[in-house]
């Protein structure tokens, strides 16, 4: 058994009376798609924020590829190979699509301190960026302002930014949110195609997508992990049915 990509141990986080993480233990194996589900307010987005470093847990440790990253800043975790997308689309709206990805490629290479040569015509940035846009099917929109893209395209660009980092673990916060059935299906297929390149931690409300994609599913309720296992076990789990699927 190889080392897990991510392991959380004894993670706690409260906001006043609200418990967002209650002594959480979780492991994401290398290369797997690990889905995180649970009712609204279960603490899924908060958990992603803690893993990415935007929120500090009250206690507990976060290990990434065998290294303790609990004390690292957001950008340091990203440099270590942790990529993420946001639930609310967060692309650079004033840049064009290509420049968005160029920025991410530049960030991955750690080459932001260039003061003279224009960045957007530099082939060492531009070619890999175009390659990613081709993968995402966004190349035709390369010259358009990101703010002018449709919602679905912005979701794709959001993912393109994360992919440009070549992450070892990709955290996806509701990648299908607000997408129509067709775009959603495309996204599922695309994520399937990525399988094996990197581990994924997927938060998603679309259960069809979750069961189609996930190798492992963990269920959160009020910050507690109430079940974790392969999709078929989760589908029949009593506690999960009661807390979550039953209300569907």
Partner 1 sequence: MRRRIFPLIGLAVFMMLPPLATWIGEPYLVSTFTRIVIFAIAAVTLDLLIGFGGMVSFGHAAFFGLGAYVSGIIAHHAAEQITLFGLPATDQALIIWPLAILVSAAAALVIGFLSLRTSGVHFIMITLAFAQMLYFLFVSMEKYGGDDGLMMLERNPLPGLDMSDDWSFYYLCLGLLAVVLFILGRLINARFGMVLRSIKQSGPRARSLGISSLAYRLTAFCIAGAGAGLAGALMANHNGFVSPALLHWTLSGDILIMVVLGGIGTLYGPVLGAVIFLALEEFLPLAFEGAGLPGFKEHWRVVFGPLLIVIVLFAKSGLYGFLLGKEAADV
Least distance CB 105 / partner 1 (angstroms) = 10
Q: How far is the CB of 76 from partner 1 (least distance, A)?
A: 8
Q: Would you say 70 or 78 has its CB closer to partner 1?
A: 78
Query: Least distance from C-beta 200 to partner 1, angstroms?
Result: 16
CB of 96 to partner 1, least distance (A): 5
CB nearer partner 1, residue 140 or residue 239: 140
Secondary structure class of 114 (helix, strand, coil): coil
CB contact at 8 A, 5 and 65: yes
Q: Which residues between 79 and 118 bind partner 1 (CB under 8 A)?
A: 79, 83-84, 86, 90-96, 99, 102-104, 106-108, 110-118
- Give the residue with the Cβ less far from partner 1, 54 or 127: 54
Q: How many CA atoms lie within 13 A of 40 on its CB side?
A: 2
Q: If binding is defined by CB under 8 A, does position 73 make contact with partner 1? A: yes
- Shortest distance (Å) from residue 235 CB to partner 1: 33
* Residue 134 binds to partner 1 (criterion: CB under 8 A): no
Instruction: Kindly list the distances between the CA atom of residue 70 and the CA atoms of 4, 28, 62, 197, 202, in Å, as whole numbers in the listed order.
Output: 16, 16, 5, 25, 21
Supply the minimum distance, in Å, between the C-beta of residue 201 and partner 1.
Answer: 14
CB nearer to partner 1: pick between 106 and 225: 106
Residues β-bridged to residue 82? 169
Please give the structure tokens belonging to residue 199.
Answer: 């581990």
Least distance (Å) between residue 5 CB and partner 1: 17
Q: Decide: is 227 part of the binding site for partner 1 (CB under 8 A).
A: no
Distance CA 91, CA 104 (A): 11
Nearest in space to 171 (alpha carbons), one of 38, 18, 46, 21: 46
Only segment of 67-75, 129-137, 184-192, 212-220 that touches partner 1 (CB under 8 A): 67-75
Total binding residues toward partner 1, as defined by CB under 8 A: 40
- Alpha carbon of residue 95 to chain centroid: 22
The label of the residue with tokens 């509701």 reads 174
Residues whose CB falls within 8 Å of the CB of residue 103, separated by 6 or more in sequence, listed in order: 92, 95, 161
Per DSSP, what are the bridge partners of residue 8?
26, 62
Instruction: Give residue 23's region: left, alpha or beta (phi > 0; psi -120 to 50).
Output: left
Select the residue interacting with partner 1 from 65, 74, 212, 245 (CB under 8 A): 74
Minimum CB distance to partner 1 smaller for 177 or for 245: 177
Q: Tokens 């507690």 belong to which residue?
A: 224
Question: Residues in the site for partner 1, rule: CB under 8 A?
Answer: 52, 54, 73-76, 78-79, 83-84, 86, 90-96, 99, 102-104, 106-108, 110-120, 122, 145, 161, 165
């Amino acid at each position: 058994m190889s080392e897990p990509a991510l392991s959380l141990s004894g993670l706690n986080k409260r906001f006043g009376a609200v418990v967002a993480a209650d002594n959480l233990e979780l492991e994401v194996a290398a290369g797997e798609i690990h889905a995180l589900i649970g009712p609204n307010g279960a603490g899924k987005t908060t958990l992603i924020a803690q893993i990415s470093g935007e929120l500090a847990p009250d206690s507990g440790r976060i290990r990434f590829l065998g290294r303790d990253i609990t004390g690292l800043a957001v950008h340091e975790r990203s440099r270590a190979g942790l990529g993420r997308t946001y639930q609310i689309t967060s692309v650079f709206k004033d840049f064009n699509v290509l420049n968005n990805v160029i920025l991410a490629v530049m960030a991955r290479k750690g080459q932001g301190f260039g003061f003279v040569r224009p960045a957007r015509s530099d082939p060492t940035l531009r070619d890999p960026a175009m390659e990613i846009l081709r993968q995402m099917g966004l190349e035709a929109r390369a010259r358009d302002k990101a703010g002018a893209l449709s919602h679905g395209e912005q979701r794709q660009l959001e993912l393109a930014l994360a992919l440009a980092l070549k992450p070892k673990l990709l955290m996806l916060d509701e990648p299908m949110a607000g997408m129509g059935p067709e775009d959603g299906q495309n996204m599922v297929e695309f994520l399937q195609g990525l399988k094996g390149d990197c581990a994924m931690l997927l938060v998603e409300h679309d259960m069809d997508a979750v069961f189609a994609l996930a190798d492992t599913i963990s269920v959160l309720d009020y910050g507690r992990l109430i079940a974790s296992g392969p999709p078929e076990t989760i589908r029949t789990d009593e506690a999960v049915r009661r807390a979550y699927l039953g209300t569907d």
